[in-house]
Amino acid sequence: MNKIFVPNAIATLTRLFYSSTTTNEYLAMRTAQFYIEDLKLLQDVEAVALAIENQNAFALMSKFKLFDYKAAEKKLKSHSPLLAIPKQT
């Protein structure tokens, strides 16, 4: 995904998952799947990490790990310690 569109993608996913006016989990998950798998959202993890930090959208990390836990943890953790995904026991 082009760096220019990453902040918009993060904002869109945040609205779809966490806005009180949007309660359609299916739409949010399909959009996330499209962004991650088809548009390669996580390809430029530096831009994704920056957008997540700027928008305080840390809750999206739990959604990203549903698609690719190891890649999300490894890549985003290496770019920003704030985005480290805690290990689950």
Residue 64 identity (one-letter amino acid): F
Tokens of 57: 């959208």
DSSP state string for the chain: --TTTHHHHHHHHHHHHH-TT---HHHHHHHHHIIIIIS-GGGSHHHHHHHHHHHT-TTHHHHHHHHHHHHHHHHHHHH-GGGPPPPP-
89 residues of the chain, pLDDT tens digit each: 889 999 999 999 999 998 877 668 889 999 999 999 899 998 888 899 999 999 999 999 888 888 776 666 666 666 665 555 555 55
pTM of the model: 0.73
